Structure 1
Amino acid sequence: MTDLPGVILAGGRATRMGGGDKGLRMIGGQSLLTRVIARMSAQCAPLALNANGDPARFAALDLPVLPDSIDGYAGPLAGVLAGLDWAAGQGAAAIVTAAADTPFFPDDLATRLKDAAGPSGLALAASPDAEGVVRRHPTFGLWPVALRDDLRSALQGGLRKIVIWTEAHGAGQAVWPSDPFDPFFNVNTPEDITTAEGLTTA
């Protein structure tokens, strides 16, 4: 367990899943969000959920629900900003983020990101793809509260691509193996649910 707050990013629109909340889809008898919360709560505290719309639909999770403060579905960075603003109110120095649709992310995510932090305190997770090329997973990161106003300005200026901003701030990178499967596999389609079901019983 680290001394870092955790923020679960669930602010997307799930267009490839037909809309709605991907995190509430069931995998092996549990919702994706329930699985993600269990992994995150073992590593970070307190936890919050970034999501837009009526927060009542997440009432059973008993977590604070943080809407984007930037209008127009500005992407995951808007969720990161919401998390940083919340963490600032907690007196925290940084947050760790995880995506709500990625139920198998590493159980050492927070500690490895802390170890990999660049000079600004930023770090992103990464893993090799099928061709062995290391790919970043920018919804899984360590984000310093000190950069929240810089991020807010970037988003208000139209920035949407996470790695442009993280590279500008010298983000570090923590790499996990993809064998026997990529721990950052995320559920985007109905077919992915079938794949995830298989992984829960493997």
Structure 2
Amino acid sequence: MKQPLGVILAGGLATRMGGGDKGLLEIGGEPLLQRIIDRIEPQVAGVALNANGDAARFASYGLPVLPDTIPGFPGPLAGVLAGLDWAAAQGADSIVTVAADTPFFPCDLVPRLLLAAEDRPHLLALACTPRDGEEALKSGGGRKINRHPTFGLWPVALRDDLRAALTDGLRKVVLWTDRHGAGEALFPADPFDPFFNVNTPEDLARARELAA
């Protein structure tokens, strides 16, 4: 099996941060996006960035910039689709996606996603972490995990199926992944959730504390 390609998802509107590119915010003296690149690059065969608007603002990173092909900012699945189309042109079998606002995701993300997909019908798996005790009690049984749908392994072979689902109005990631029997790679959430992401100015302050 070929090593997956990596796609950084940065196509959102960042409304809770007042708009703009969250990936260009600085943490520990360097842009958030650079931290993401440094973490995913050793795990994959190549990296691209899913982002909309003027690609020139990312020129200094030297990455292919992939805009959504489905209009109207339909969410992360549009970024996944853009990544899958790019990967297909490269002759790749799969991609792994990571979010551009999540600076502490695991350094073994890719191998553990691949392991989670081993017994599945497709190269498809999502990262997840245990829920905290209070949330687990509220859930009333069932799987006590949080899935992180922007951190996944996605097969190029299903890209046309995903395109059709998006065109039909599907927006919720897990509805599509459940439909195709996705695996789940469980990561520890101690001492903090490695999929903690920067959505608000308060999150940014917290990320800077954690980086320090």
Q: Find out whether 1:76 has 2:87 as its counterpart.
A: no
Q: Find out whether 1:161 has 2:172 as its counterpart.
A: yes
What residue in structure 2 maps to residue 120 of structure 1?
122
Aligned residue for 1:42, secondary structure, equals helix
Q: Which structure 2 residues correspond to residues 38-53 of structure 1 after superposition, within 5 A?
A: 38-53=38-53
Q: Hey, which bits of structure 1, 4+ residues long, moved more than 2 A?
A: 129-133
Q: In structure 2, what is the Cα distance between the partners aligned to 1:104 and 1:189?
A: 16
**Which string of whole-angstrom CA distances, capped at 9 and with x for unpartnered residues, describes residues 62-86 of structure 1?**
0000000000001000000000000
C-alpha deviation, 1:134, in angstroms: 1.0
C-alpha deviation, 1:42, in angstroms: 1.2
Amino acid at match of 1:78: A
Q: In structure 2, what is the Cα distance between the partners aligned to 1:61 and 1:7?
A: 14
What residue in structure 1 maps to residue 204 of structure 2?
193
C-alpha deviation, 1:129, in angstroms: 3.0
What residue in structure 1 maps to residue 12 of structure 2?
12
TM-score (norm 1): 0.97
Amino acid at match of 1:136: R
C-alpha deviation, 1:19, in angstroms: 0.3
What residue in structure 2 maps to residue 87 of structure 1?
87
Q: In structure 1, what is the Cα distance between the partners aligned to 2:131 and 2:43?
A: 25
RMSD: 0.9
What residue in structure 1 maps to residue 152 of structure 2?
141
Q: In structure 2, what is the Cα distance between the partners aligned to 1:16 and 1:168?
A: 31
Amino acid at match of 1:198: E
Q: 5+ residue gaps in structure 1?
A: none
Q: In structure 2, what is the Cα distance between the partners aligned to 1:176 and 1:7?
A: 20
In the alignment, which of 165, 172, 178 is matched to residue 183 of structure 2?
A: 172
Identity %: 68
Aligned residue for 2:43, secondary structure, equals coil
Q: 5+ residue gaps in structure 2?
A: 137-143
What residue in structure 2 maps to residue 23 of structure 1?
23
TM-score (norm 2): 0.93
What residue in structure 1 maps to residue 36 of structure 2?
36
**Which string of whole-angstrom CA distances, capped at 9 and with x for unpartnered residues, describes residues 72-107 of structure 1?**
001000000000000000000000000000000000
Q: In structure 2, what is the Cα distance between the partners aligned to 1:96 and 1:177?
A: 19
